[in-house]
Amino acid sequence: MRGSGYVRAIALPPPALGNNTADAQRLEQALKKALNTGFVHIPRALIPDLPGRLREWGWRAKVVLFKDRRSFKVVDLLDPGDSGPVLGAAVDIGTTRMVISLMNLETGEKLGETGFDNPQAGIGPDVLTRIHHARTPAGREELKRLAVDALNQQLVRLCRENQMTPDRVFLVAGAGNTAMTHLFAGLPAFGIIQEPYIPCVNILDTMDAATLGLDIHPRGQVFLFPNIGSYFGGDLLAGILAADLDRKDQPCIMVDVGTNAEIVLGNKDWLMACAGAAGPALESGVSRMGMTAKPGVIDRVRVDPSTKDLILHTIGEEAPVGICGSGMIDLAAALFTSGRIDIRGKLVPEACGQRLTDEDDIPAFELVAGADSGTGRPIRLSQVDLNSLTSAKAAMYTILEVIVSQTAGLSFSDLERFYVAGTFGSFINPDSAITIGMLPDIPTDRFQVLGNTSLKGAELLLTDPEAFDRVMAVRDTITYIELNVNQGFMTLFSGAKFYPHTDTSRFPSVKV
């Protein structure tokens, strides 16, 4: 048996009077041996074809497999000389955007990637509206169809771009948060948003693609990353896989900054996670203010060391139209290091000079004058925006402090790697984030941006059979920390609302 992953070339011992087990069991035994596993499932639909195919192919075949919780499953048997592509599709099931990548399952190579808006947003841009819509079977079916139809269309396009067709896609792996996973699979989700926050399902076993209406190979299989709870979804498990957190010797941390801050800490021996609940400040902060990246959006800000002027960079180097989250963090760091905001995050009139203006009687810093902007309107940062950012960065630091120091008993310097996941996180400049006290003051080479970890984890799951078992093992062993916003938290939070922190000894590298 050659090959690796889920595509294997196999040769069976031909039958004889002294070796006369059935065709299906002959295949089953050969695969059990080759995969070193106790059971291999052969689907009923494939069984009638076995006698003809195995004899025609001289007891050799290219076998496409997948896994479920119980065993390997055979998806199809191909002619051993079949030279067509054997494809898989990884899917990031995002609330706003969905992303697919097309994988060659034989080589592990990524052939292409495409992102598109999740059409469920037509029902409601936010998850709450969609969950309410999913209270009826018809609503659930509609939400599922919207997402699945779009996925089917995009998959056709992605395959066509690679001169391939979706009937050569045998496996799909998808990762999303708990609510999105439910809505993608057409499941009721109302339990997720009402106390005591009970999902319909945490582990949805590998299923026929046809069950979801996915137009791939007729016996194609779909695996959706399992959830751990209502606020800890498959996207985070995919992230752990992508970051290899469950295989690290030394403690590492992964922070996914999306609508919530989600944090996983640990190594090969232990993993803990916290998510969501403490994030209201963060939610109403960075992510609200940050625009989606598009041409003209300010994504980097720095201070000219000699003139103290702010130097802006926009996406596509076009006239500025707004600022994104990473630009905001850069801007706050620049304002702070140039003395334009003080350690409480308040605008300093003397330092701001003519840039200080006001919006609805609230002080604001004018970053771009109307005449210079791409929209004709000035781009301003009000004290209210700044306060939100201050709360957000303080919440992030406090959450990190609670989980790393208070819960795990580690210091930040013990963290061998600090992974930053999620679209927003991808663009954060760690130096700026440290400067404002959002991230801890550790050597910047320990920070590593992972990008779309949901997608990467799903890609890994399609190409490495061990990944399936890792996901299940992590799911069963990870400790979920409920982050209580209690008096202790609020005390830490208050200290973290300073720039970079009331306790400046925590940020020795930040010089103002």
Q: Which is nearer to a copy of itself, 139 or 327 (CB)?
A: 139
Q: Which is nearer to a copy of itself, 224 or 315 (CB)?
A: 224
Q: Which is nearer to a copy of itself, 38 or 409 (CB)?
A: 38
**Rounded Cα gap, residues 123 and 509, in angstroms:** 48
Q: Provide the token pair at 100.
A: 């697919």
Instruction: Output the 3-class SS for 163-197.
Output: CCCHHHEEEEEEEECHHHHHHHCCCCCHHHHCCCC
CB of 191 to a copy of itself, least distance (A): 6
| 379-382 vs 207-208, strand pairing mode | unpaired
H helix or E strand, kind and range, residue 72: strand 72-78
CB of 198 to a copy of itself, least distance (A): 5
Q: Which is nearer to a copy of itself, 211 or 491 (CB)?
A: 211
DSSP helix/strand/coil, 458: helix
Measure Cα distances from 282 to 26, 211, 239, 255 in Å.
58, 38, 20, 13
Q: What own/partner pairs with CB < 8 Å and gap ≥ 24 does 367-374 have?
A: 367/298, 367/310, 367/312, 367/320, 367/323, 367/331, 368/298, 368/312, 368/320, 372/319, 372/320, 373/319, 373/320, 373/321, 374/296, 374/318, 374/319, 374/320, 374/321
CB of 482 to a copy of itself, least distance (A): 8
Where on the chain is the footprint of a copy of itself (CB under 8 A)? Answer: 15-17, 19-26, 39, 41, 44, 47-48, 50-52, 69-71, 137, 140, 186-188, 190-191, 195-205, 207, 211, 227, 229-230
Q: Which residue is it, tokens 């106390």?
A: 195
CB of 19 to a copy of itself, least distance (A): 8
Q: Which is nearer to a copy of itself, 20 or 83 (CB)?
A: 20
CB of 472 to a copy of itself, least distance (A): 11
CB of 229 to a copy of itself, least distance (A): 6
**Rounded Cα gap, residues 348 and 473, in angstroms:** 52
Q: What own/partner pairs with CB < 8 Å and gap ≥ 24 does 268-271 have?
A: 270/477, 270/479, 271/240, 271/245, 271/246, 271/474, 271/477, 271/478, 271/479
Q: Which is nearer to a copy of itself, 202 or 502 (CB)?
A: 202
CB of 344 to a copy of itself, least distance (A): 36
What is the number of other CB atoms lying within 10 angstroms of the CB of residue 187? Answer: 16
Q: Which is nearer to a copy of itself, 126 or 476 (CB)?
A: 476
Q: Which is nearer to a copy of itself, 130 or 497 (CB)?
A: 130
Q: Provide the token pair at 453.
A: 């970890």
CB of 269 to a copy of itself, least distance (A): 24
Q: Which is nearer to a copy of itself, 91 or 204 (CB)?
A: 204
CB of 63 to a copy of itself, least distance (A): 17
- How close are the terminal C-alpha atoms of the chain, in Å? 63
Cβ–Cβ < 8 Å for 255, 425: yes
CB of 385 to a copy of itself, least distance (A): 35
Q: Which is nearer to a copy of itself, 2 or 55 (CB)?
A: 55
Give the closest residue to 236 by CA, choosing from 450, 88, 392, 442: 450
CB of 203 to a copy of itself, least distance (A): 6
Q: Which is nearer to a copy of itself, 51 or 443 (CB)?
A: 51
**Rounded Cα gap, residues 436 and 133, in angstroms:** 41
Measure Cα distances from 436 to 290, 335, 506 in Å.
17, 10, 12
